[in-house]
Structure 1
Amino acid sequence: MLKLNRVHHVAIICTDYVKSKHFYTEVLGLKAVREVFRKERNSYKLDLEVGGLYQIELFSFPEPPPRLSRPEASGLRHLAFEVDDIEVAIAEVKAHGVETEPIRVDEFTGKRFTFMADPDGLPIEFYEI
């Protein structure tokens, strides 16, 4: 049987690299590990560290097609981050002008969560543990 150890990274393609880089590094506070410009593809690639374990790769490409977020489209639905205190997390992003949905409670786990959107409309979830 195939043995998968863990998720290695999540790749995100953005339409405005500067705006998305600011969102992921300044608003969400992810640590930039490596940034490269690939001239032959006219593309940036920014590796971001999440909690010392995971990595998000933020890419820019010229004129990527828009992503459908609503109504729910097939494919990756959203990116979820575990947080210790959802109200603190919400206050942090609101200080940067990012609006979140009202806090909801997972009907199966009883845990609290909320959603917001990145600059391209990708749903981002905070899930309180």
Structure 2
Amino acid sequence: MIKINRLLHTGIIVADIARSRAFYEGLLGLVPSDKRPAMNFEGVWYDIGFNQLHLMVVPNPYADAELPAHGGRDYHVAFAVDDVMAIKQALDEAGVEYSMSMSGRAALFCRDPDGNALEFSAVKMD
């Protein structure tokens, strides 16, 4: 049996690193990590607790895929947040479309500039 200890990182494909950094750093407030080694493609890593988010500028095999209207029914990255309403307000102010969780819990879904689905879920961190 395989024993998995924890999730280390999630990698997502982006087309324009400057546009993506403006979204992830400017709107979401993530700070680039200095842990990314030199690679043969552009990208940036963000430390989020024990995990990382890796943005990769590589050919996108899903570029022509039809995405579901609700990000919760698509591949997505989920972030724990303190206050979903604060995220909602920031997205409203930035003109970013989103949908609230269909389960009724305190969560919302949006897409980054490349259509990657993101979830923001209110989770108490102990």
- Give the structure-1-normalised TM-score: 0.76
Match for residue 2 of structure 2? 2
1:117 aligns with 2:111: yes
1:24 aligns with 2:20: no
- Name the structure where strand makes up a greater proportion of residues: 1
Aligned length: 117
Quick one: which of 47, 61, 64 aligns to 2:60? 64
Change (3 A) 1:125 1:113: same
1:45 to partner: Cα distance: 2.4
1:118 to partner: Cα distance: 0.4
- Distance, in Å, in 1 between the alignment partners of 2:12 and 2:21 is 11
Question: Unpaired segments of 5 or more residues in structure 1?
Answer: none
- Distance, in Å, in 1 between the alignment partners of 2:68 and 2:102 is 21
Alignment check: 8 A CA contact 1:36 1:46 kept: no
- Give the structure-2-normalised TM-score: 0.78
Identity of aligned residues (%): 31
Change (3 A) 1:67 1:54: farther
Question: Unpaired segments of 5 or more residues in structure 2?
Answer: none
Question: Which amino acid is the alignment partner of residue 64 of structure 1?
Answer: N
* RMSD of aligned alpha carbons: 2.3
